[in-house]
Every structure is written in C-alpha cells, then in structure tokens.
C-alpha cells in the first residue's frame, strides 16, 4: 500500500468515527432527558469506571490502555456536557 492508500483508509475510518461519535452523543442526550425526569445526577463515577475497565479489557493494541482511557475520558466528558445541557439548559 502507498501512503495515499493508507491515508484514504484513515479518512474512511475518521468518517466512521465521526458517525459513531454523533450516534453516541444522541444516546447521551436521551440519557440526559431520562436523568432530568428521574432526578438523577449527571456524573456517575461508577459507570465511568466500568467503561474504562471494559475498554482496557477489550483493547487489542497497539494503543496502550492509558491512551485508550484518555480517549474515552474525552468522549465521556463531551457526553456529560450534552447531558448537562439537557438537565440544566446550559450551552
């Protein structure tokens, strides 16, 4: 494969990630709505811990576990921000 071929594959994967990130965000918005109606807190440290552990357990590499946790911390931070918008109305 050439560099251009590899970059095309990266571009394809980036587009797939974009779609998946937005699908995940839609679910986070729905969770925010449910938390609002149920009076549940936005931050659930136990849930986040479980996500990080599951991702580390499922991680085949080459990214190390700490890199995976950092990536998911960012994704979860954005999901929490969306949930906060739903529960508090802030932007």
Is the pLDDT score of 57 beyond 90? Answer: yes
Q: Which pLDDT belongs to residue 85?
A: 82
d(CA 83, CA 71): 19
Boundaries of domain holding 57:
3-88
Q: For residue 13, give Cα distances in angstroms to 7, 27, 42.
A: 10, 21, 30
- Within 12-77, strands assigned E span none
CATH number of the domain that residue 76 is part of: 1.20.59.10
**Into how many domains does the chain fold?**
1
d(CA 75, CA 91): 17
Q: Which pLDDT belongs to residue 89?
A: 65
Are 85 and 91 contacting, i.e. CB atoms less than 8 angstroms apart? Answer: yes
Instruction: Tell me the pTM.
Output: 0.84
The pLDDT mean for the chain works out to 93
Q: Which of the listed ranges 11-20, 31-40, 73-82 does the model predict with the highest average pLDDT?
A: 11-20
- Find the mean pLDDT for residues 18-39: 93
């Amino acid at each position: 494969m050439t560099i251009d071929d590899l970059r095309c594959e990266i571009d394809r994967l980036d587009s797939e990630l974009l779609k998946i990130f937005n699908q995940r965000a839609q679910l986070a918005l729905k969770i925010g709505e449910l938390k609002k109606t149920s009076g549940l807190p936005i931050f659930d440290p136990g849930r986040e811990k479980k996500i990080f552990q599951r991702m580390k357990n499922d991680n085949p590499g080459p990214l190390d576990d700490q890199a995976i946790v950092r990536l998911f911390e960012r994704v979860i931070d954005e999901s929490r921000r969306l949930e906060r918008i739903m529960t508090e109305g802030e932007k």
